[in-house]
Amino acid sequence: MSNRFVNIDNRDYHMHSSNFSDWLSSIDEIVRFTWEIWLKAIAITDHSQFAIDFLNNKYWSHLWCSFRRTLWRWRNVINEVDVQFWVEGDLINENGDCCFDIQWVEPEFRILSAHGNIYQSPNDTITKWTIRAIERYKEKIAFIWHPCNKRDFGLHIDMNELVDCANANGVALEFNAKDFVQWTTDIHKLRYLLEKTDRIYINSDGHTLYELREMRKQAIDWLKNEWYIN
């Protein structure tokens, strides 16, 4: 079963920096730390411009650097970790419209995500419009965000439909380790995801260095104890 897990081997493709998102550490600090905990590849997946604009009005004061210049100029001179820059995009409405950019720049790969207060349609429509977005953007979506999260849309996601659509379109789903460790995962839906999904990412969704170190490790230990992986 372990061959269905895309990044079981020391790769983490969901985390946030203080440069463009709601992490406590900068890109350079994250990259230094990932080498210390033996990660060999990571993706910095800061939130989309739609989320940034919303949260700037409520919580964040500003972004202090340019995303375009970061993609152009930043190079890992610290260690040998493979560092990529993606965007955690936001599903916006019933048309399946999404925001996948930061400062009008779209990286090659995106996460399809949805967040409370940002998704502008009724919660009970989330499955239908997520499926529409998958069909529209499947060529550029690396994986679907934590669909088992009880805080945002977990009560409204139809896992049968979502898994069938993801498998049919060759799109992976995410086992979000932070949600799991913090008890915000619907375990029944998680087990369905683990048993039925063709391709699965296991990511920390780290917003602190502690989460980056601990969340994914604890999720993998649970997968081993439950015999999902060896």
Per-residue pLDDT tens digits for 148-192: 998 877 788 999 999 999 999 999 999 999 999 999 999 999 999
Where residue 59 sits, what CATH number does that domain have? 3.20.20.140
Q: Judge whether 167 lies within some domain.
A: yes
Helix (H) or strand (E) holding 43: strand 41-47
Asked whether the predicted pLDDT for residue 38 surpasses 60, the reply is yes
Q: Judge whether 230 lies within some domain.
A: no
Q: Judge whether 187 lies within some domain.
A: yes
Asked whether the predicted pLDDT for residue 61 surpasses 60, the reply is no
Would you say the pTM of this structure is higher than 0.85? yes
Q: Judge whether 20 lies within some domain.
A: yes
Between CA 116 and CA 119, with CA 118 as vertex, the angle to 5 degrees is: 80
pLDDT score, position 10: 95
| Mean of the per-residue pLDDT values of the chain | 91
Q: Judge whether 9 lies within some domain.
A: yes
Per-residue pLDDT tens digits for 132-142: 999 999 999 99
Number of domains, the chain: 1
- Please identify which residue in the block is written with the tokens 């800061």: 46
182 burial (CB, 10 Å; 0-12 / 13-18 / 19+) is middle
Residue 172, SS3?
Answer: strand
How much is the average pLDDT of 20-47? 93
Q: Judge whether 164 lies within some domain.
A: yes
Q: Are 208 and 24 in contact (CB under 8 A)?
A: yes
Distance of CA 80 to the CA centre of its chain: 23
223 burial (CB, 10 Å; 0-12 / 13-18 / 19+) is buried
Among candidates 147, 141, 136, which has minimal Cα distance to 111? Answer: 141
Q: Judge whether 213 lies within some domain.
A: yes
Instruction: Quote the domain boundaries for residue 179.
Output: 2-92+99-225
- Indicate the DSSP class of residue 105: B
State the Cα–Cα distance between residues 197 and 165, nearest whole angstrom: 10
State the Cα–Cα distance between residues 96 and 138, nearest whole angstrom: 12
Q: Judge whether 111 lies within some domain.
A: yes
Q: Are 79 and 42 in contact (CB under 8 A)?
A: no
Q: How confident is the model at residue 1 (pLDDT cuts 50, 70, 90)?
A: very low
